[in-house]
Amino acid sequence: MSFNNIVTLSTGQKLPQIGLGTWLSRPGEVENAVEIAIRHGYRHIDCALIYQNQHEVGTALKRVIPSVVKREELFITSKLWNHNHAPENVEKELDETLSQLGLDYIDLYLIHWPVAFPAGKLFTPHPEKAEIQVIDDIPLAETWKAMLKLPATGKVKAVGVSNFSIKHLQGLHDATGVWPVANQIERHPLNPQWELVKWCQERGIHITAYSPLGNNITGKQKLVDYAEVKAIADRLGATPAQVLVSWGAYDGCSVIPKSVQKDRIISNFQQVKLSQEDYEAISAIGKNNHLRFNVPFRYCTESDPKWDVNIFDEEDEKAATHQIRVV
C-alpha cells in the first residue's frame, strides 16, 4: 500500500499525497479505474471538465459512497477550462462540474491554464491557422478574483491554479494579496521545475505533479525505460513506475499517476523508500535532457498569430510567461 502520507495545505485541509489522475482515459475506462482505485485505498481523485469524462467519475463515486468510503474522506480536485475565464462564467462551470460528478462540493478547484479562450466552444481555432487557438483578452486577475469568491458558496473548499509560472502567480498575488492554495504542474525527472517548486513551497503554495511517469503519446523514450530508473527499481524490488512516483513525492509534492489498468492502479499506489542517493541519481536524468511532454495548444491573438506559449524548454517558458496578460 501507499505510505498514506498526508499533505497539509495552507487552508488546513488534508490532501492524500498519492492520487489518481483521469486525463486521457478513454470513454468507458475512467468509471472502472476510479472505483478500483478507491476500493484499493486511493482517497485523492483528480478531474477536469476538459477531460470530458467527469460523468463517468461521478458514476464510480456513486458506487463507493458511502458503501466503501465517506464523502469527507475523499479529496476531489477539478479545473476551470479556458473558455470560461470570464468572471460571470466561473461559478457556472463549477456548477456543471458538480452536476457531472454528482457532488455537492469539491475540495479543490483550479484555473486549468493561464490563458483564456472566447466563451462558448471548448476549443476555438484561429480563423486562418486551425492548429492555433484564439486567445481572449481576459486578465487572469479577474478570473482569480471570481475564483476567490467560490469557497463562500460552500461548493468548493479551496481554489488554486494549474500550469502557472512564477510570473503568473506573482501577478495574482499583486492583484489580490492572495496566493493560490496549489499549483498543479507537469513534473517528472525530465521536467523537474526546481525553481518553480522551491518558489511555491516558500510561499505555501502546494505543488501537485501530473504526468509523473512522463507521457508515452509523444513517441519519446518512456521514463520507465531509462536505465537509471530500472536499475534502482530492480535493486529495491519495485517497478520503475513505483520509483518515479516515489521520486515525485520525495520533496513533499503530491503525485497523481494515471492508469486504467487494475494491476497498475494498485501498483502505483505502492510506494518505495528512496535513499538520497537514489533520488539524486534519478534527478540527474533531466540535467541535460529537459523535456516537457504535455505541450499545450499554441495560443495567440488574431493580430499576432506567432504569439504563443508552446513551451519546450525552460528558456522558452521564461520568455513565454511575459506574453500572458495577468492584470
For residues 151-173, average pLDDT = 97
Query: Does the pLDDT at position 326 exceed 60?
Result: no
Query: Does the pLDDT at position 3 exceed 90?
Result: no
pLDDT at 313: 35
Query: Does the pLDDT at position 25 exceed 90?
Result: no
Query: Does the pLDDT at position 178 exceed 60?
Result: yes
6-323 CATH pick, 3.40.50.300, 3.40.50.2300, 3.20.20.100, 3.40.50.970: 3.20.20.100
Q: What is the pLDDT of residues 217-241, one digit of tens each?
A: 666 788 999 999 999 999 999 999 9
Q: What is the pLDDT of residues 141-155, one digit of tens each?
A: 999 999 999 999 999
Query: Does the pLDDT at position 296 exceed 70?
Result: no
pLDDT band, residue 27 (cuts 50/70/90): confident
Specify whether the CB–CB gap between 99 and 54 falls below 8 A.
no
pLDDT band, residue 91 (cuts 50/70/90): very high
Q: What is the pTM of this model?
A: 0.90
pLDDT band, residue 309 (cuts 50/70/90): very low
Q: What is the mean pLDDT of the chain?
A: 88
For residues 312-323, average pLDDT = 36
Q: Pick the catalytic residue: 42, 51, 226, 299?
A: 51
Query: Does the pLDDT at position 303 exceed 50?
Result: no
What are the C-alpha distances in Å from 41 to residues 47, 73, 126?
Answer: 18, 11, 44
Domain range summary for the chain, segments of one domain joined by +? 6-323
Specify whether the CB–CB gap between 111 and 143 falls below 8 A.
yes
Query: Does the pLDDT at position 22 exceed 50?
Result: yes
pLDDT band, residue 124 (cuts 50/70/90): confident
Annotated ligand binding at 112? The verdict is yes
**235's torsion region: left (phi>0), alpha (psi -120 to 50) or beta?**
alpha
Q: Is 210 a catalytic residue?
A: no
Amino acid at 263: D
Q: What percent of the chain has pLDDT over 70?
A: 86
Dist CA 188 CA 167 (whole Å): 21
